[in-house]
Structure 1
Amino acid sequence: MNYFDMDQTEEKILDKLSRMAEESGFIKPELYRKYEVKRGLRDLDGKGVLVGLTEIGEVHSYIMDEGEKVSVPGRLIYRGVDIRDLAKGFIEDDRFGFEETAYLLLFGNLPSQNAQKEFELLLAQYQRLPEDFTRDVILKAPSKDIMNTLARSVLALYSYDDNADDTSMQNVLKQCLKLIACFPSLAVYGYQAFSHYHGNQSLYIHSPRQGLSIAENILSMLRPDSSYSKLEATLLDLALVLHAEHGGGNNSSFVTHVVTSTGTDTYSAIAAAIGSLKGPRHGGANIKVVRMFEDMKEKVKDWEDDQEIERYLTQILSKDAFDRAGLIYGIGHAVYSISDPRAVILKGYVAQLAQEKGLEEEFKLYSKVETLAPQVIARFNTMYKTVSANVDFYSGFVYKMLNIPEEMFTPIFAISRIVGWSAHRIEEIANVGKIIRPAYKSVAARRHYTKMSER
């Protein structure tokens, strides 16, 4: 049935209504300054507005010296432990670190050997999805976006939980641990369904194996032959550790606090966080980095020529190259300026994997851009005195070298960050805070109601 007049197509009506919606939604920029609104919950100098307290993660990027803000090399601290020391510890012991990191973030202390084994056994027990869940939820409605599949799967798990709305600490912890354990399967199976039904590829559904780390299981389930090298698993494990937490102010963790403060269930809170992370301004930046470099490799003929690379980067900033957005992806961060500790840690191991994969020349190009881009940005826009490579700059290159498809880049971020989200949900519940409700000032002009016949 056609509800529209012959000369009023759906497209015309929607076009007219969308223009009206945009006009009604626009607020004059000067009003934000007039009422001192902290847009994005950030001060004009970029400092985040303090809205809460946390003991989970700390992002440190500056010191105050005689009342002046002075940038320092970035530090990321998990429960008081510097991420550099944490990574050095498990790498020197030649073991995987993500499970240890999850324990630290959730329970506040580094685990003993026995506590670690007990924790890993519990996660292994929780890896298995409910019976027929893969067939009935994931395979029957394959999505073209794996983050959509992940969110939908998390919401569907609510129906399989007899105590889904129980927000007692023990029940919430159990729900969080189950989600941490099964996120790799939800994401990988979502990708396999996409690859098969939308990409006409063979369907591979490998069960997670007890005794393997989460990083190993991701590679095992993702690859047709389930094979991987020790270095591949080590680097993926490190990437998971570095993405697990980034303070309560990052968008998706803040969303977790906001939604948890309403008293809702774990599945709704985590699905909301997934929706936040899906946004390209938050979790999808590493895909942009990889695509930017693919374009750069085509346009820049001599990868050793600094001037040619600088010309290309200037064209990006001038919106004359790549996606015309004027952004050099992977360079700059909302908090870090001198350095992002995650990028610093990751870079050393990226070089090893690039050598194993025969991609040393491409790694050199990344290194050159990391050096040249801040200089180009500083010349182009004097507002940005100091910027540096962020973790997205190298993580996408890592995933590419691991033959992980682009569709899985952000889901892998989610597989890692579910740990931080869980810790923040638990922290919000433990402190029995008020519902989070910041104020919005109405700047609409008052009007009288006009009868329909008089409009």
Structure 2
Amino acid sequence: MTRLKARLQEKIEEHRPRTTRLLKEFGKVVIDEVTIDQCIGGARDIKCLVTDISYLDSQEGIRFRGKLIPETFAALPKLPGAEYPTVESFWYFLLTGEIPTAEEAEEIHQDFKARAKVPAYVFDVLRALPKDSHPMVMLSTAVLAMQKESKFNKAYHSLKKNDYWDTTYEDACDLLAKLPEIAAFIYRYKYKNGDIIPGNYELDMGANFAHMMGIAKPYDDVARMYFILHSDHESGNVSAHTTHLVASALSDAYYAFSAGLNGLAGPLHGLANQEVLQWIMEFQTKMNGAEPTEENVKAALWDTLNSGHVIPGYGHAVLRKTDPRYTAQMEFCQKHLPNDPLFKLVNMIYHVAPGVLTEQGKTKNPWPNVDAQSGVIQWYYGLTEYDFYTVLFGVGRAIGVLANITWDRALGYALERPKSVTTAMLEDWAAKGGSK
């Protein structure tokens, strides 16, 4: 047993009594109320999910295990010459809430190296798909195709409930170790004439992914940063919630994560980064090569709004200030590509758009989210096929959702089954002023 798995087992055994006590002694304590607009409006802000992996505050943004993004980057170990921590060290942190040593992070690297070989049939399945299939279809299909490898599924009938986490953890590690090669294969197969670059598993996950993509330094740091920033966003977003929901039926990690990827592919979720960059490129074309200024960008933004369109990449379901994930990527751009024309335009939009949106008065949050910035970095380093961007998001999102479902099984969380009501019931309650 690796040190991470042994430490995770200790943390699980420490945590279980807390959940048991809450259910037994305080299970009927009321923590929230549901309104009609929440019921109809997608269960927005209803407090009915539990995760200790991350928390999203409307002002602070995401906290990973209690740490803000800059605190996370500063605390985790980095390889010599790298600006960002390894994904391996972040995996340890999300699972345990503890900062690993460099030695512990390297142990995870070696563990992932032993798990990384992708079955040949997965590539056969991908080659059998129409080559113009969306990359997210390919990624989701590849994950689902590997379900036959599930250790949880094979062991299920011989397991006790308290042991479900063990093989879920094994599936999560197996899947996470293989995803970078699958994603890089999809990219090289679709966009680089099938010129596949074999993995170098002496490298950490971020550096090996950059190597397999065929993109030189500092793209290894871009990959580390991107995967960590996109890893988790508490449990209520579509990809995290879908993965949790499907896993709550005791479907294994392959079934659950494939379903989560299908949710991530929607334009109101992960596909938004693709749409944002497409809009920015069109925006740049309309400016006819003019240097972005407050005046011409403001005029162009008003043209967008007055034509009945939104400004993509702005606004967020929870946040009420600039997304710290946007800020982290902006700081990278300021250091590595300050004079890039696309970044200069995005940066000017950032300075102008909040004022325009506030003046328009139709949005609660006029500030940029992570999607407003992420595509610019990928484009700069030559990854100009923006329908692939959600695949990058998917690899990162795996870290958070797989950590979450491991803990879901460890704590014995129940099958998720909300109760529905009818429109007539809502109308009746509305007339009476409430259901009580």
Q: TM-score, normalised to structure 1's length?
A: 0.78
In the TM superposition, 1:156-235 aligns within 5 A as 156-161=145-150, 164-166=153-155, 168-195=164-191, 202-223=193-214, 227-229=215-217, 231-235=218-222
Distance 1:162 1:77 in 2: 31
Distance 1:398 1:213 in 2: 21
1:337 aligns with 2:316: no
1:362, CA displacement in angstroms? 2.8
Distance 1:344 1:209 in 2: 31
Distance 2:262 2:174 in 1: 19
Match of 1:136 in 2: 124
1:317 aligns with 2:319: no
The count of aligned residue pairs is: 379
Give the partner amino acid of 2:297.
Answer: I
Match of 1:125 in 2: 114
Match of 1:387 in 2: 366
1:33, CA displacement in angstroms? 7.9
Match of 2:98 in 1: 109
SS at match of 1:59: strand
Q: Is the 8 A contact 2:231 2:398 kept in 1?
A: yes
Answer with 1 or 2: which has the greater Rg. 1
Distance 1:152 1:361 in 2: 37
SS at match of 1:170: helix
1:430, CA displacement in angstroms? 1.6
Q: Unaligned regions of 5+ residues in structure 1, if any?
A: 1-31, 43-47, 62-71, 196-200, 446-455
Match of 1:412 in 2: 392
Distance 2:346 2:38 in 1: 40
Match of 2:410 in 1: 430
Distance 1:92 1:155 in 2: 33
1:368, CA displacement in angstroms? 0.9
1:351 aligns with 2:334: yes
Match of 1:14 in 2: none
Q: Is the 8 A contact 2:273 2:375 kept in 1?
A: yes
Distance 2:372 2:332 in 1: 14
Q: Is the 8 A contact 2:93 2:100 kept in 1?
A: yes
Match of 2:54 in 1: 57
CA shift in 2, pair 1:102/1:33, >3 Å: closer
CA shift in 2, pair 1:360/1:151, >3 Å: closer
SS at match of 1:164: helix
SS at match of 2:61: strand
**Of 39, 42, 57, which residue of structure 2 is paired with 1:40?**
42
Over residues 34-58 of structure 1, what are the superposed CA-to-partner deviations in whole Å (9 max), with x where a residue is unaligned? 686251111xxxxx11012211101
SS at match of 1:440: coil
Distance 1:35 1:109 in 2: 39
Give the partner amino acid of 2:140.
Answer: A
Q: Is the 8 A contact 2:293 2:348 kept in 1?
A: no
Q: TM-score, normalised to structure 2's length?
A: 0.81
Q: Is the 8 A contact 2:152 2:171 kept in 1?
A: no
1:87, CA displacement in angstroms? 1.3
Q: Is the 8 A contact 2:54 2:65 kept in 1?
A: yes
Match of 1:18 in 2: none
1:305, CA displacement in angstroms? 3.3
Distance 2:331 2:254 in 1: 37
Provide the identity percentage: 23
Q: Is the 8 A contact 2:189 2:196 kept in 1?
A: no
Match of 2:428 in 1: none
1:383, CA displacement in angstroms? 4.2
Q: Is the 8 A contact 1:353 1:401 kept in 2?
A: no
Match of 2:3 in 1: none
Q: Is the 8 A contact 2:136 2:261 kept in 1?
A: yes
Match of 1:87 in 2: 73
Q: Is the 8 A contact 1:104 1:111 kept in 2?
A: yes
Match of 2:375 in 1: 396
Q: Is the 8 A contact 2:151 2:168 kept in 1?
A: no
Give the partner amino acid of 2:181.
Answer: S
Between Structure 1 and Structure 2, the one with more helix by share is 2
1:157, CA displacement in angstroms? 0.7
SS at match of 2:337: helix
SS at match of 1:366: helix
Match of 1:305 in 2: 293
Match of 1:368 in 2: 348
Give the partner amino acid of 2:55.
Answer: E
1:165, CA displacement in angstroms? 4.5
Distance 1:232 1:40 in 2: 37
1:169, CA displacement in angstroms? 1.8
RMSD between aligned residues: 2.3
